[in-house]
Structure 1
């Protein structure tokens, strides 16, 4: 148990370090709002799509392609999205419903989920997690694009407008562009992959620094109620429902643990980037990311302890 806590801390501590660095840089006036706007745009339009593209291209689809597990994850994600959205409609102010919903269902699987899966189950965790990650990315970005388009200030909510927001989303384009290369194992020049990795490696530091630069005590106070509600949905209720569903479906051992780790991951940094890109309440998105990342140290380990105690993993 203590080893798992150390693993979780080893993954989440660098995330917090970059967040606090963003806070410090803003306080020192080394970065300003203009930098945050430019850097967030660069992440959304360039570095993050490149990161997603490279991650899928490098995934070994033949090693861990499990249609039943992938199907369950898609169904569970849709159910979680529907629950979060329904609760937001009932309990959250109209302007914040998109951010609440995205924060409640969109996990940081590329950093926390995959890293813990690999740490616990080695090559199997890495291969299954990477293949699952491709499905995760596509589902999360399509659903986020829909709900943010509906609730973003001044957004057009017709079917054509929402469809356009999906097909023009750089993150979705990055995923779709990578699928043929991954499926048919089309090789890319080594220099191009290396250059792409250099570019993609800027994603997480830039995104987290921008989140930290946006945080302030006033913004945390303003968004505290909604942020805590979304965080509880993300870190407690939806992982509980999804993991119970996986257990009832018949998943056990490594498959059940990896599904749990993906469901229980804190809110992804990409949620802040997308919120800022569409002019939504990015301060609320930043607060949800901070709260869920902190909560992950506790909830992830409690969940794994319960699953181990029951003899299911």
Structure 2
């Protein structure tokens, strides 16, 4: 348990370092709102798609393809999204519902979830985690586009417009483009892959600095109750319900452990970028990311302890 705790801290501490760097840079005037808007657009349109594309083409889609697990993961994700949306209708004002729902269901599986899966289960955790990550990227971005469009003042919400927004989402385009490369094991020229890696490596630091530059004590106080409410759904209710459902279905050992790590991962940093792109309450999005990332160091260890104590993983 100490090893898992230290691994969680090693993953979350750099995240907070980048967040606080963003706060510092904004405070001393080295970045401003114009930089944050431009950099957020760069992450959404270029660096994040590059990161996803390279991550998927390196995944072995044949190694850990488990239809039962993928079906459960899909159903649980859709159910979690529906639960978060229903809860948002009850708890959140109309203008903030899209941001609330995205923050409450969209996990950071590609970074924190996958890293913890690899730490606990080695190569098997990497192969199974990568397949789940590829699947969830499609669902997260599609569902986020839908719910943000419904409540966004700048995105049309009729079915055809939403469909076009989904197809035009750079993150979804990158996943679809990478799928045949991964399936047929098609490699890229070395120079192109290296250049793409340079671009992809900018994603997390730049996104987190932008989030930090948006944060302020005033915005955290303003978003306090709403951000905490969304964070409770993301870090407690959904992991408990979805992991218990996986246990009832019959998953045990590594499969159950990896499902828990993915359901219990904190809100993804890209949710802030999409909130800005939708002209939504990006301060609320940033606050949810900070709260859930801090909570993950506690909830992840508690969940792993309970599952190990029960002999289920």
Normalising by structure 2, report the TM-score. Answer: 0.99
Structure-1 residue corresponding to 2:306: 306
Which of structure 1's runs of 4+ aligned residues deviate more than 4 A? none
Over the aligned positions, Cα root-mean-square deviation in angstroms equals 0.7
How far off its partner does 1:190 sit? 1.2
**Aligned counterparts of 1:247 and 1:150: Cα–Cα separation in 2:** 34
Q: Which ranges of structure 1 fall in alignment gaps of 5 or more residues?
A: none
Q: Secondary structure at the match of 1:266?
A: coil
Alignment of 1:131-142 (within 5 A): 131-142=131-142
The equivalent residue for 1:158 is 158
Query: 1:43 & 1:65 partners in 2: Cα distance?
Result: 30
User: Structure 1, residues 22-71: CA drift from partner, whole Å, max 9, x if none?
Assistant: 00000010000010011000000000011101110110111111111111
Q: Deviation at 1:154?
A: 3.7
Equivalent residue number for residue 20 of structure 2 = 20
1:80-229 matches, within 5 Å, as 80-229=80-229
Question: What aligned pairs does 1:234-245 form with structure 2 within 5 A after superposition?
Answer: 234-245=234-245
1:155 Cα deviation (Å)? 2.8
What CA distance in whole angstroms lies between the structure 1 residues aligned with 2:67 and 2:196? 30
Partner of 1:291 in structure 2?
A: 291
Question: Aligned partners of 2:289, 2:265: CA distance in 1, in Å?
Answer: 11
Per the alignment, residue 6 of structure 1 pairs with: 6
Residue aligned with 1:156, SS: coil
Q: Separation in 1 of the partners of 2:133 and 2:204?
A: 16
- Can you give the 5+ residue segments of structure 2 that lack an aligned partner in the other structure? none
> Aligned with 1:73: secondary structure?
helix
TM superposition shift of 1:187: 2.0
Which secondary structure state, in structure 2, belongs to the residue aligned with residue 221 of structure 1? helix
Which residue is equivalent to 1:69?
A: 69
Superposed displacement of residue 3, structure 1: 1.3
Per the TM alignment, residue 283 of structure 1 is displaced from its structure 2 partner at its CA by 0.5
Question: What secondary structure sits across from 1:153 in the alignment?
Answer: coil
Cα distance between partner residues in 1 of 2:187 and 2:197:
15
Query: Aligned residue pairs: how many?
Result: 313
Quote how far apart the aligned CAs of 1:128 are: 0.7
Q: Distance in 1 between matches of 2:112 and 2:90?
A: 31
Please give the residue correspondences for 1:51-66 in structure 2 after superposition, counting only pairs within 5 Å. Answer: 51-66=51-66
